Chain A
C-alpha cells in the first residue's frame, strides 16, 4: 500500500489548486496555449463566471475541446432540423428517410440505395395464426404453408419459437414484451389476412443445381420418350428431377386434378389427405432413426442424472489415428473452434 496523506494536512482540492497555479515549463505547454487562452490559465479562472469559458472545458481539464468535423457539424444540424421527426417513432409501421421527400415510397430504407427494398416480417398476429393452425387445428405444415403462402421451413420455425415462447410464459420467465412490441411497430409486416393480395413469399421454388446450368447435348433417338427424369440423369446420377425437388409436390397434383375436371373442394380434400399422409410418413421415419440411435445407448439412472452410454469402435481412427470422425479430442491437431472467419453457427436444428 502506498503511504497516505492525511486529509487534515493536505486536502485534495488544495493539491489541485497548487498544481494549477504553478507555472508550467514552456516545453510542456500545448501548442494552442500561445494563441488561445485556456480555461486553466489564471486570466480565465479570474472570470470563471463567463459562460464561454465554462463551456469550453471542464474545470479540471487543461486541454481544449476538440473541434467538430464538418460531417459532425452537419449531422448535428440535421438532427436539429429534419431529424427532429425521427427522434421518436410514431405511428404504425416503418418510417424511412426516403419518406420525407417521397411519401409514396414506403419500403426503401436507404436513400442512396434505391434498389434495396425492405421485406415485411410476419407480425405477431400472423405468427399466432400459424401456431393455431398447426397446434390447435392440427393442420399439416404443408397445408398451412400453402394456405398462407409462407415457406414450409418458416412455418416450422414459427411453431418452434412460439412453443418456446409459450413455455416461457408458463414458467413465468422474464420476457421483454414491450421491447418486442416497440420493435415490431417499426417494421413493415404482413398479417397474412385475406385482404393482402400479394403472397408473402414463393413457397414451391425449385433449387437449381449448378450442374444443370450447363448446356448439354445428348443424342436421343426420335422414337424415345425423353422425360425430365432422363434429363436429370443426363446432368448427373445424383441430380434429381424438378418434380422430386419440390417442397410441396401435392400442390401440383391438386392443380392437375382441378384441370381434369374434379371439383375444387374435392381436390382440396385430397390435398389435405395427401399432405397429412406424407407428414405422418416423415414423422415415422424420423422416429425410426431416433429409436435406432437410442437403441445403441445403454442408460443408467442415478439419483441426479441419467448417464447415456454409447458403445462404439475406438479402433476406427484412420491410418494415422487422426481421422476426422474419430472419437474424442484429437491429439496434435489444432482445434479451430475460436479461429476467426469460420462459420460456427449450427446449420441444423437438433
Chain B
C-alpha cells in the first residue's frame, strides 16, 4: 500500500491544528498513523511585543525522519510538499520564476528605392 506523508486535522471548531503524519494512504484521516513526524499550527500569530504586526506560523518537524520517509518512497500530499519544501527536503511544486522578458522584435528595414 502507498505510504503518504499528510496532515491529520485535530484541534477544535474554528481552531485547527495538524499533526504531520506518515500513514498508509487508505487509512482514515485521524486514525493512528505509522509515525507522527511533526505538527503544523495554521493559525497565524503575532509576536507578543512586536508592534510591526507581522504574522508567523509555527511548524515542528523531525527533519531526519522526514528525509528517511521520502527516501523510502513515501509520497507527500500537496500541502505536505509545500511544508517539506520549506526546509529543502523535497522540491517545491510551484516555483516562483520571474516572468520571461519579451525581447523587442527587430524592425525590418525597408528600403524604398526611388
Those of A269-324 within 8 Å (CB) of chain B:
298, 300, 304-315, 317
Q: Does A350 lie at the interface of the complex (its beta carbon under 8 Å from any beta carbon of B)? A: yes
Smallest beta-carbon distance A321→chain B, Å: 9
A157 located at the interface, meaning its Cβ lies under 8 Å from any Cβ of chain B in the complex: no
A311 touches B62 (CB 8 A): yes
Q: Is the interface of B mostly helix, strand, loop or mixed?
A: strand
Q: Does A202 contact B (CB under 8 A)?
A: no
Rounded to whole angstroms, the CA-CA distance of A315 and B69 in the bound complex is 14
Q: Once the chains bind, are A306 and B60 in contact (CB under 8 Å)?
A: no
- Known A-B contacts A300-B86, A350-B48; A310 and B58 likewise in contact (beta carbons under 8 Å): yes
The distance in angstroms between the C-alpha atoms of A332 and B32, with both chains bound, is 8
- Interface check A167, CB cutoff 8 A: yes
A-B contact count (CB 8 A): 73
CB distance from B96 to the nearest CB of A (A): 10
Please tell me if the beta carbons of A329 and B19 are within 8 angstroms of each other in the complex.
yes
Within 8 A of A (CB), among B17-53: 17, 19-20, 32-33, 35-39, 44, 48, 51
Chain A residues with Cβ below 8 Å from B11 are 329
How far in angstroms is the closest Cβ of chain A from B46? 11
Which range contains the number of A residues in contact with the other chain? 20 to 34
Q: For chain B, which range describes its interface: under 10, 10 to 19, 20 to 34, or 35 or more residues?
A: 20 to 34
Q: Within the complex, which residue of A300, A306, A350 is in contact with B54, where a contact is CB–CB below 8 Å?
A: A306
- Residue pair B62, A313 in contact (C-beta under 8 Å): yes
Most buried by B among A167, A314, A332: A314
Contact check, B19 vs A328: say whether CB atoms are below 8 A apart: yes
CA distance A311 to B58 in the complex (A): 11
A327 located at the interface, meaning its Cβ lies under 8 Å from any Cβ of chain B in the complex: yes
Enumerate chain B interface residues (CB-CB to A < 8 A). Answer: 8, 10-12, 17, 19-20, 32-33, 35-39, 44, 48, 51, 54-63, 65, 83, 86-87
Q: A308-B59, A309-B61 given. 7 additional CB < 8 A pairs?
A: A167-B51, A300-B86, A306-B55, A307-B56, A311-B62, A313-B62, A314-B65
6 contacts between A and B (CB under 8 A): A306-B56, A307-B56, A309-B86, A328-B10, A328-B36, A331-B32
